[in-house]
Amino acid sequence: MLGLGELEASVMDVLWEAAEPLRVRQVLDELNQQRHLAYTTVMTVLDNLHRKGWVVRELENRAYRYRAVTTRAEATAQSLREVLDSVDDRESVLLHFVSTVTEEESDVLRRALRRKPKKR
């Protein structure tokens, strides 16, 4: 994801997979299945993600519960939008991208474009 470091992206993956907001300890437990991190490291990452607007937190008793502000799909789409907005030749970028999509992805794009209302 654009704008996220490796550990931030891993934390976001945990939050996106969760069915409910998570405490720091719960995020840590998930991450520690693959690596060994300190509680304070994960707490700092979650605080940074909150400051950056990626997560919201709700105080429950004496601990915060964190949840992602957007879905993974929405965040990915926003990243793609930022990439397109950063180049002068959007048409060329889009044409190169379209040349890499699978038939299934092409069908999805066609259906989406048919449903999209034209801007005036």
- Domains in the chain (CATH in brackets) are 6-68 (1.10.10.10)
With bands split at pLDDT 50, 70 and 90, how would you rate the model's confidence at 1? low
Query: Tell me: the pLDDT tens digits for 58-71?
Result: 999 999 999 999 99
Cβ–Cβ under 8 Å, residues 103 and 111: no
* Better pLDDT: 15 or 2: 15
> What integer pLDDT is reported at residue 56 of this predicted model?
98
Helix/strand/coil (H/E/C) assignment for every residue in 19-68: CCCECHHHHHHHHCCCCCCCHHHHHHHHHHHHHHCCEEEEEECCEEEEEE
> What integer pLDDT is reported at residue 87 of this predicted model?
93
> What integer pLDDT is reported at residue 118 of this predicted model?
76
pTM above 0.85, yes or no: no
